[in-house]
Structure 1
Amino acid sequence: MQNLNEYTIPETLQPYVKSVLSFQKSGPDHLPNDMPFFADGCPGIMYMESGADIFLNRKKLSALFLYGQTIKPINIYTFGEVNAIIFFLYPHVIRSLFGIRADELRDNCVDLELLPFPEAKHVRERLSASTSTEARKAVLSDFLLRLTKRKKIVMDRKLIYATSRLTLAKGDLPLKTLRTDIQVSERTFERKFREHVGISPRLYARICRFQSAMMQLQSDNYSKLTDIAYDNGYADQSHFIRTFQEFTGHTPSDFLNGFTQDNP
């Protein structure tokens, strides 16, 4: 990826939006321009502008879509140059803000215009007419802000606490401790996680651990893979490699080789 940029989140959206990133990626018009994405624990809204159709596997994508938890590694591709902006949402936001069970969007996405928001088509048209990333950020920020005002948004404070604790602990926190802290049964905890986050608490913790290891791998802050494994609570290097392959489809070494070629 090229020209990767991070943007300040408007204060009014900080309870809902974790981060905002944009990127540009170019390639020959006759060759697929691949964009791999891996589990990060967050759903999001993405707008992609390209001179050609955009595909997820063989599924043609809308330029503006809402996506859920990504578990399996996915590859979005188009041809030629692509400009994209992504609003990464907090893991518990989908149900409260969009009225959709989060588990319905697991490893899936939906055209924003298919949701019951009459302004969505107008949002896409405004995005298409925008000539800068800052302008697109403003359009999407305005759309999300209007969503928060459509009705009183009630978010589950216990889930916010649980996901925040797991993220900060890099997944290394007993789930029983969390359930005790927020005083819910195991069954209720599982049900609420699947409805609002889209996956089980155990899987979310595994993704938090994987993301921590991924960041350490990309930062080159290690001497050998065993360091990453032990620093992030894996039993051994083999366990880390198996988990990494599960979430990316590559070994850490193969991923790094491709990463240095295709990303900033």
Structure 2
Amino acid sequence: MPINFFKHLADQNSAHILRIIPPEHLKEVVEGFYVFKAGNPAERELFFNDGYPVIALMQNENVSVSIDGHTKCVGNTWVCGGVLRNIYCESELHFEDCLVIRFHAVTFFKLFGINEDCFQKEQVFDFSEIAGYGFETFKETYYHCSSLEERMKVVVNFLSEKMSNYSYPRVLIDIQNHINRQGNLTVRDLLDSYKKVRLNYKWLERNFKKHLGISPQSYLLIRRFLNAYIDLDALTSKDLLQIAIDNGYYDDNHFIKDFRRFSGVPPKTYFNRTIKALKTVKDDCSL
């Protein structure tokens, strides 16, 4: 998703995102349905994922992404997950009314019958690659709907038909929620927090990779970076060093290295580019 989606997601009072609670029988699979009401004014928007795989249903706009300089079209229904590095939306798009389905990773892979390492090979791809039986009918019906209520019924029915019985360690969802609430954590912190259930490193490593598709270290890394990015984007009085330390980095150089890893450029270059793009859009609107 565009990284600003998560900025609005973190703001519970944001007018840019409408959250729709999934029906009871889908809560084990779907964390939430979101209607993304914020536009995408930048020519190139950094893509990111916070550890929850998503399926995005655009309003008939095909999305092209740049992955390490190579352009790829992922259509108007696409999947995003895993650890995204230096991936950008290639052209200016409007994300208004884009429906985002945010999944629990521990059940996402089972729901679509795919391997847990699929996001190690591709982080953004066309939904048709994993949707399975009934996708063409689902897509045609979805895009013929004239209201959000109708589209939601189509999505819920499609996901409900894919529900099946499978098992997974329920504590994994609790661990994910604990990480999201606490923010700055290490693997050692997790092990200490779950002493009562005798959580050990080998179990954590094995089950994160098996059910979430990434290691616990990678999950903590993307959460830490996202929190620091949102803090930096908020334009507070904090300097870069303070933001880095507040979000679990040793120093600002450590944060800058991570920023380069995820965006391809240092923070100053990234935000200068973003400010310039926003100014261009405002100037165009005033003409």
> Structure 2 length normalisation: TM-score?
0.75
Residues in 2 aligned to 1:144 and 1:179: alpha-carbon distance in whole angstroms: 33
TM-superposed CA distance for 1:201, in Å, is 0.5
Give matches, 1:171-190, under 5 Å: 171-173=184-186, 174=188, 175-177=190-192, 180-190=195-205
Contact 1:39 1:247 (C-alpha < 8 Å) held by counterparts: no
TM-superposed CA distance for 1:232, in Å, is: 1.1
Amino acid at match of 2:64: F
Question: 5+ unaligned residues in a row in structure 2: which ranges?
Answer: 6-14, 283-287
- Please give the residue correspondences for 1:1-264 in structure 2 after superposition, counting only pairs within 5 Å: 4-12=16-24, 13-19=26-32, 20-23=34-37, 25=39, 34-50=44-60, 53-57=62-66, 58-78=71-91, 84-106=98-120, 107-115=122-130, 117-148=132-163, 151-173=164-186, 174=188, 175-177=190-192, 180-260=195-275, 261-262=277-278
Q: Is the 8 A contact 1:68 1:108 kept in 2?
A: yes
What is the Cα deviation at residue 33 of structure 1?
5.2
Q: Could you tell me whether the CA contact under 8 Å between 2:83 and 2:222 is conserved in 1? A: no
8 Å Cα contact 1:18/1:88 also seen in 2:
yes
In proportion to residue count, which structure has more strand? 1
- Which whole-Å CA distance do the structure 2 matches of 1:102 and 1:62 have between them? 23
Instruction: Give TM-score scaled by structure 1 length.
Output: 0.80
Offset at 1:81?
Answer: 5.1
Change in Cα spacing, 1:200 to 1:190, as seen in structure 2 (3 Å) is same
Larger mean CA deviation between 177-186 and 187-196 belongs to: 177-186
* Structure 1 CA distance for aligned equivalents of residues 223 and 23 of structure 2: 25
Cα distance in 2 for partners of 1:222, 1:134 equals 43
Residue 140 of structure 1: CA displacement? Answer: 2.2
Cα RMSD over matched residues?
3.2
CA contact (8 A) 2:52 2:104 kept: yes
Report the Cα distance in structure 1 between the residues aligned to 2:196 and 2:261, rounded to whole angstroms: 31
* Residues 186/16 of structure 1: CA separation in 2 closer, same or farther (3 Å cut): same
SS for the counterpart of 1:60 is strand
Distance of aligned partners of 1:37 and 1:109 in 2 relative to their CA distance in 1, 3 Å threshold? closer
Q: Aligned-pair distance for 1:23?
A: 4.3
For residues 165-186 of structure 1, the C-alpha deviation after alignment (integer angstroms, 9 at most, x for no partner) is 2222214142442564543443
The more displaced of 75-84 and 34-43 is 75-84
Distance across 2 between alignment mates of 1:182 and 1:64: 40
Deviations along 1:114-172, one digit per CA (max 9) or x if unpaired, are 43632222111122213345543443233223323xx2243421221222222222141
Query: 1:226: Cα distance to partner?
Result: 1.9
User: What is the rounded CA distance, in whole Å, between the counterparts of 1:171 and 1:93 in structure 2?
Assistant: 25
Segment drifting more, 93-102 vs 203-212 = 93-102
Q: Report the alpha carbon displacement of residue 100 of structure 1 after superposing the two structures with TM.
A: 1.8
Contact 2:39 2:94 in 1 (8 A): yes
Number of matched pairs: 257
Alignment identity in percent?
Answer: 24
Instruction: Say whether the 8 Å CA contact 1:167–1:205 is kept in structure 2.
Output: no
Long gaps (5+) in structure 1: none
Query: Equivalent residue of 2:248, what SS?
Result: coil
Query: For the structure 1 residues 112 and 80, does the alpha-carbon distance in structure 2 shift closer, same or farther, using more than 3 Å as the test?
Result: closer
SS at match of 1:247: helix
Q: Is the 8 A contact 2:205 2:215 kept in 1?
A: yes
Whichever residue aligns with residue 92 of structure 1, its letter is: V
Cα contact 2:38–2:95 (8 A) shared by 1: yes
